[in-house]
């Protein structure tokens, strides 16, 4: 079972079991405006996927032009 936690501009998802499940969560989070930061041990939560709210909507390719 997935558990989601929010802390300011960060969101943590705990309980991911497979790569396929991780990809699905990352794609859903991206559509909601979050970017995947990695998988880390969070105090009081344990190991969880870390997402950060995107503040800029431009892509990296547009920044280089």
| pLDDT 10s digits, 41-54 | 999 899 999 999 98
Task: State percent of the chain over pLDDT 90.
Answer: 75
Cα–Cα dist 8/20, whole Å: 27
What pLDDT does 55 receive?
83
Instruction: With beta carbons less than 8 A apart as the criterion, state whether 37 and 51 touch.
Output: yes
- The pTM assigned to this predicted structure is 0.76
Instruction: With beta carbons less than 8 A apart as the criterion, state whether 10 and 51 touch.
Output: yes
Sign of CA dihedral 18, 24, 27, 31: negative
Residue 23, CA atoms < 13 Å, CB-side half-sphere? 3
Domain boundaries, given as residue ranges, for the chain: 3-55
Does residue 65 register a pLDDT over 90?
A: no
Torsion of CA 55, 56, 57, 58, to 10 degrees: -160
What pLDDT does 31 receive?
94
């Amino acid at each position: 079972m997935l558990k989601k936690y929010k802390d300011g501009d960060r969101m943590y998802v705990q309980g991911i079991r497979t790569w396929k499940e991780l990809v699905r969560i990352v794609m859903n989070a991206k559509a909601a405006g979050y970017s995947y930061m990695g998988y880390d041990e969070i105090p009081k939560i344990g190991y969880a996927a870390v997402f950060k709210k995107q503040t800029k909507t431009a892509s990296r390719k547009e920044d280089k032009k």
